Structure 1
């Protein structure tokens, strides 16, 4: 049985720390140019999705259920990124080819100095190339320490609850203000769990295009939230904004306006006392 919206929101607030935990676990295993905010956005949407689809009657603790969804979303986000640069991939391939050739020529595994000489690099750079080659997304599937119980048991204090409510309000507003095609992709993937192939057919685009739209949507959500809540992390606006920049700024403003309107409605609802009719 699905939970009421209030109960879903409470679950999201109580377990938001799971997103930070899993992002921290993943961010240590990928190159430094992978943005933490991008993984956090994917994880946050997965948490919302988990709360919307959670069925307590199944007997599975929400923390465990949500952790699986959050971690899966972060992995999907990483797999959708081309986070290994072209140069990194080329060096990794060359390293593999040289290792194979030298092994055949020498009749044994080549030493690091032999490989480095064959590649025309120093031994330290060779180690760096080897490390990059080994840091594959599939390695992220290894189990991590399960801290879901201790994390989710810590209920947010009033100040933390305000911060969480604000971020959720902006996230919801950001999804609502996305362009129609991007909103359809986000809702389809994160909230309706529809297959990418089905979304692609409905929108008349390729599956790779769906991946691009998903990345674009998450980037817009991240930038809109940072612009409103973490200005130091927000993208720097151009001094002479073009059409694309003006559209981005209009989107940020629309998100802020919608989030503010939602907050105002909440305040009014809380402040307005219920009307009690008296029996005549």
Structure 2
């Protein structure tokens, strides 16, 4: 019984890790069809969650390839995410911009992301006001998708299958993704593994780490940003977004992380090629 359960878990995890690039592919194509202020991280999170659920529900006896089944679930999740966005009031959008600028300025000075108390003090607001605005922004996504495009929402998510060239690109991204996850700071890596692979409730992860649910949500977003930027740094450098003060602590930490991922990748490439060289 235990051996069977272990096999199922291993096979499920393999489906998840192998098909993570499929999420990136569908999200990337979707981002090309929606307004620029749609959150890539939110779509990626929705897609990864759908992938996990698809892997756990997959029944190979039905004769449907997993990639096709998973793609359907992922597209459905992205549509749900896009449908969920609401109008944000002008005041929410205005305050969101002000708070974003305040956070950016504080990050440059502090060399790290400021906490709610620091943002509130700098903005002349109470902590509750900052938290409430963040919550409004999170729910509303600071956009109205239907108000900014006349395209039916179902047409915003691509339906075609990846080409062979794209599948090769996915395989390369998968390798980097695995390495990038391994090089994440311990707590962020744990959140990624617990939330996306073990499918643990956010509340359970928060309780184990002794933090709030919102902090786990922030850590998840931070991890996804690092993973995205690590992959872009290796494969599409022009897409890496600058953050923090140039040469600051936050920037140096990011560069150190990118270097660690690159070193792990180079080490893996050498370990693969060494047996061939020895055989020759």
**What is the TM-score normalised by the length of structure 2?**
0.59
Equivalent runs, 1:225-236 vs 2, <5 Å: 225-236=231-242
SS of the equivalent of 1:32 reads coil
Residue 170 of structure 1 contacts residue 225 of structure 1 at CA under 8 Å; is this kept in 2? yes
Structure 2 spans left out of the alignment, 5+ residues: 1-6, 95-142, 148-152
Of 244, 250, 253, which aligns to 2:250? 244
Q: Is residue 192 from structure 1 mapped to residue 193 from structure 2 by the alignment?
A: no
Residue 176 of structure 2 contacts residue 261 of structure 2 at CA under 8 Å; is this kept in 1? yes
Q: 1:63 to 1:255 in 2, by over 3 A?
A: same
What's the CA shift for 1:233?
Answer: 1.1
What's the CA shift for 1:192?
Answer: 1.0
Q: Deviations over 1:27-74 (max 9, x none)?
A: 635x422354x3675477558757965552465541354125534765
Mapped to 1, the partners of 2:45 and 2:230 lie a distance apart of 14
Match of 2:224 in 1: 218
Q: Deviations over 1:179-221 (max 9, x none)?
A: 1111111111111111111111111111111111111001011
Residue 22 of structure 2 contacts residue 170 of structure 2 at CA under 8 Å; is this kept in 1? no
Aligned residues: 221
Residue 46 of structure 1 contacts residue 190 of structure 1 at CA under 8 Å; is this kept in 2? yes
> Which is greater in Rg?
1
Of 171, 176, 181, which aligns to 2:182? 176
Equivalent runs, 1:111-126 vs 2, <5 Å: none
Mapped to 2, the partners of 1:78 and 1:145 lie a distance apart of 9
Residue 228 of structure 1 contacts residue 256 of structure 1 at CA under 8 Å; is this kept in 2? yes
Mapped to 2, the partners of 1:79 and 1:200 lie a distance apart of 28
Q: 1:220 to 1:133 in 2, by over 3 A?
A: closer
Match of 1:34 in 2: 38
Q: 1:230 to 1:69 in 2, by over 3 A?
A: same
- CA-based RMSD of the aligned residues comes to 4.6
SS of the equivalent of 2:179 reads helix
Mapped to 2, the partners of 1:16 and 1:66 lie a distance apart of 12
Q: Is residue 70 from structure 1 mapped to residue 78 from structure 2 by the alignment?
A: no
What's the CA shift for 1:16?
Answer: 4.7
Residue 178 of structure 1 contacts residue 217 of structure 1 at CA under 8 Å; is this kept in 2? yes
What's the CA shift for 1:24?
Answer: 3.0
Mapped to 1, the partners of 2:221 and 2:27 lie a distance apart of 19
Q: Deviations over 1:132-173 (max 9, x none)?
A: 54649xxxxx7669976x616x5x25xx55533321111011
Q: 1:220 to 1:85 in 2, by over 3 A?
A: farther
Residue 182 of structure 1 contacts residue 213 of structure 1 at CA under 8 Å; is this kept in 2? yes
Q: 1:4 to 1:185 in 2, by over 3 A?
A: closer
Equivalent runs, 1:101-112 vs 2, <5 Å: none
Of 247, 261, 273, which aligns to 1:267? 273
Q: 1:251 to 1:146 in 2, by over 3 A?
A: closer
Q: Is residue 24 from structure 1 mapped to residue 29 from structure 2 by the alignment?
A: yes
Match of 2:90 in 1: 87
What's the CA shift for 1:235?
Answer: 2.9
Residue 223 of structure 1 contacts residue 234 of structure 1 at CA under 8 Å; is this kept in 2? yes
Match of 1:151 in 2: 161
Structure 1 spans left out of the alignment, 5+ residues: 92-131, 137-141, 274-280
Residue 189 of structure 1 contacts residue 196 of structure 1 at CA under 8 Å; is this kept in 2? yes
Residue 23 of structure 1 contacts residue 40 of structure 1 at CA under 8 Å; is this kept in 2? no
